[in-house]
Amino acid sequence: MAAALTGAAARLAEAGVESPRVDAELLAAHVLGIGRGRLLLVDTIRAAELHRFEELVARRAARIPVQHLLGTAAFRHLELAVGEGVFVPRPETELLAGWGIEHTAPGATVVDLCSGSGAVALSVADESRAARVVAVERSPAALAFLRRNAAAFPAVEVVEADVTAPGLLRELYGQVDVVLCNPPYVPDGTAVPPEVAEHDPAEAVFGGADGLSVIRPVVALAAALLRPGGVVGVEHDDVHAAAVPALLTADGRFTGVAGHPDLAGRPRFATARRA
């Protein structure tokens, strides 16, 4: 087993995979049906298992996302179903979700815009005592994964809609406690890894020429949805450290605008409180 893992990691490294050893171990654990931490206890691997492992390594070397090969993506305490047509949630978004959870009081109403697989919405439902979590997504492919992932969370309501649509969720205006959003925000034309360019849906990645085409209407929608004292958190590109807080400030309905870095120290999300 050790030799197979070493060879797989070397192949993935040569292919330009960012975390070759981790991905090799994840694929091996998947094939063997065990937790990754138990691989050290495995001395041998059967021929059929080795063949399947090598097939998966070859596909990962072709830069198919490891989450697509596993069929799931880990996010905070959840394992989410993912695949072609839905954005694979990233570890940095766990920080936005965590901020949202910290600001969700028992009985709160939370809205997650651009919900995708449901990573943020379901984490809030899983780790807080929110009474209602509304997850908004427009992509039919993403909605299939969102509904599948949300099935175990009775507090979560899935809404099929475009977050830029005028009057969205009008029945909730002035009643929401927390609004969270991980929108498409990469400026058009930005070079992205093959896993993103070839497998993440472009509509979930790119946000117009400056990356702000979805964030602008989201700021206005959040201001309409939130009750006085309610809070909003919006993830953004690291080039938007000044731009997104400026949009929140310019709206005129928010106070306490702040930027937050990710674990690498890069600007990652902005927050504010409804005046």
- Out of 183, 184, 217, 245, pick the active-site residue: 183
Q: For residues 5 and 23, is the Cβ–Cβ distance under 8 A?
A: no
- Out of 53, 75, 87, 153, pick the active-site residue: 87
Q: What is the pLDDT of residue 168?
A: 97
Token duo for residue 177: 């406690």
Give the global pTM: 0.93
Domains and CATH numbers, the chain: 2-62 (1.10.8), 85-274 (3.40.50.150)
- Out of 145, 153, 182, 267, pick the active-site residue: 182
Question: The tokens 């990652």 sit on which residue?
Answer: 268
Q: What is the pLDDT of residue 145?
A: 98
149 has catalytic annotation: no
87 has catalytic annotation: yes
> Phi/psi at 156 (nearest 5 deg)?
-95, 130
269 has catalytic annotation: no
Q: pLDDT tens track of the chain, all 275 residues?
A: 888 999 999 999 999 999 999 999 999 999 999 988 888 888 788 999 999 999 999 999 999 999 999 999 999 999 999 999 999 999 999 999 999 999 999 999 999 999 999 999 999 999 999 999 999 999 999 999 999 999 999 999 999 999 999 999 999 999 999 999 999 999 999 999 999 999 999 999 999 999 999 999 999 999 999 999 999 999 999 999 999 999 999 999 999 999 999 999 999 999 999 99
